[in-house]
Amino acid sequence: MKSAMFHKFAAAALVVLAVAVLAPAASFAAGTIAGTVVTNTVTINYNVGAVPAAAVITTVSFTVDTKVNVTVQTQDTNVIAVAPGATGAVLSFLVTNTSNTALDFALTSVTTATVPFVGGASNFATPPALTAYVDGDASHTYNAADTTNNIINLAPDTGVWVFLVGNIGTEANGAIEGYGLIATAKAANSAAAGLLTHNGAYNGTTSVFADAANGSVGGDGANQGNGSDRGGFQVTALTITKTAVTYSDPVNLTTSPRAIPGATITYIITINNSAGTSNATNVSISDNLGSLPVTFTGAVLPTAVAFNDSGSANPSPIDCTASGTAYGIVVNGQCFTNTADGAETHGTVTADANFAAGTITVSGLTVNAGTTAVIKYQVVLN
C-alpha cells in the first residue's frame, strides 16, 4: 500500500506560482519608503495522479521600517577668511536626508578641536557662538530670507543648504577656529521637536539609526540619528597707513619742494597683508577730501608732475595722463580712471576706482596673503 501511494504522488504534476505586491511602491537611493506594505502571495497547483488538486494559496506581508540617516557636507572649499570684529561671518553646508521617509532635522553648531583645510588646532581666544539658518530662498547665499533655524519635513533624497552665522571678536592675525554643523533627525512636521529613538516605534514602523560616527565633530556618534561636517574661519588682519608726500611746489618745482599753496601733494595709502595667512578680498577704501583745502588733480597734471611711484620727492613717476581719458588714480602701479565706470582690470590688478562728490573710492580689490597694495593720487594745495 505504501509503495502504491508513493508512486501515485510521485506521478503528480506540481506547479508553484509566487507573486509579490508592494503597496505603495517607490524607488529612492535611500531605499523603499518606510511604511510600504510588501505582500507576497504564493499559489501552488498540482495533480494527484491524473486528477488536478485544488490550488493552495498562501499570503504573507510585512511593513518596511524606517531607516534614519542624514549626510552633512561643507560647501566651502577652504577656511573662510575673516577680519577681527567682522559681523555676519558665514560657513555653508548641504544637509541631505538619506532616510527612507520625510523627517525634520534639528541643527546644532559646535566648535571643533581641529580646523579643516588648513589643519592645526582651533585657537580663537573667544570662539563666537554661531546660529544655524536654513537657506529659505534656495539662493545658496545667506541673506534676509533665511530666518528658519531647523529643517522641516525634508523629503527623502532631498538636500537643503544651511548656514552657520556669527560675529568674530578681536582675534589675533592668523588665528583659526573650526566649527561643526550637526543635523539630528526628528519626527516629520514636529518643528524639529519630535525625538526619535534607535529601534523605537515611529509611524507604525521601527526606526533604525543607520548613521556612522564622525570623530572630528564631538557629539556625532554612530547610530544616533545625526550627521555632521566641519568648516572653519581664519583671521586676516590688514594694517593700513596713509602718508602725504609733497611732489612739487610753484617755486622749487621738484627740488626740495615745500607744502605751500599751489604745491602738488601725493597721497599714498598702503594696505598691508604681509603677515596675513589668507587673501583679503573685496577690499575697499573711501577717502573724503571735501573738507580739506585741496583740489583733486585727476588727469590734468602734465607728465612733469605725474605720480611719484617711489613715495619720495624723487623720480620714478607714473604718468597717468592720457588724451581724452580721465586717468588719475594708481592702484598697485597701474593707472585707473577716476570716473564711476565700474570695475577695470589693468595688468593683474582689478578694481573700481573713482573720484566723485569730493571722495576717492577704490573697491573690489584683492590683497593676497603675504603682499601689500598701494593706492596713490594727487591733489593741489589751495
Model pLDDT for residues 217-271, shown as the tens digit of each residue? 999 999 999 999 999 999 988 889 998 888 889 999 888 889 999 998 888 899 9
Residues 68-235: name the CATH superfamily.
Immunoglobulins (2.60.40.10)
99-115 pLDDT, tens digit per residue, is 999 999 999 999 999 99
User: At which residue does the C-alpha cell 570695475 appear?
Assistant: 343
Give the strand pairing for 294-296 and 372-381.
antiparallel
Look at residue 18 in the predicted model and tell me its pLDDT. Answer: 46
127 preceded by a cis bond (ω within 30 of 0): no
Average of per-residue pLDDT across 161-171: 96
20: pLDDT strictly greater than 80: no
Q: Predicted confidence band at 3 (pLDDT cuts at 50, 70, 90)?
A: very low
Q: So what's the pLDDT on residue 334?
A: 85
* DSSP reduced 3-state for 331: strand
| Choice among 38-52, 60-74, 307-321, 347-361 with the minimum mean pLDDT | 307-321
CATH 2.60.40.10 domain residues, the chain: 68-235
pLDDT tens across 329-345, in order? Answer: 889 888 888 888 889 99
Q: How far apart are the first and last CA of the chain?
A: 133
Residue type, 81: A
Task: Return the CATH fold of 239-381.
Answer: Immunoglobulin-like (2.60.40)
Task: Enter the C-alpha cell of residue 370.
Answer: 603675504
Three cell numbers written together for 345: 582690470
User: At 280, is the pLDDT very low, low, confident or very high (cuts 50, 70, 90)?
Assistant: confident
Nearest by Cα to 146 from 77, 105, 88, 186: 88
CA distance 288 to 268: 14
State how far the alpha carbon of 366 is from the alpha carbons of 276, 283, 353, 355, in Å.
13, 6, 13, 20
Most confident of 200-204, 320-324, 347-351: 200-204
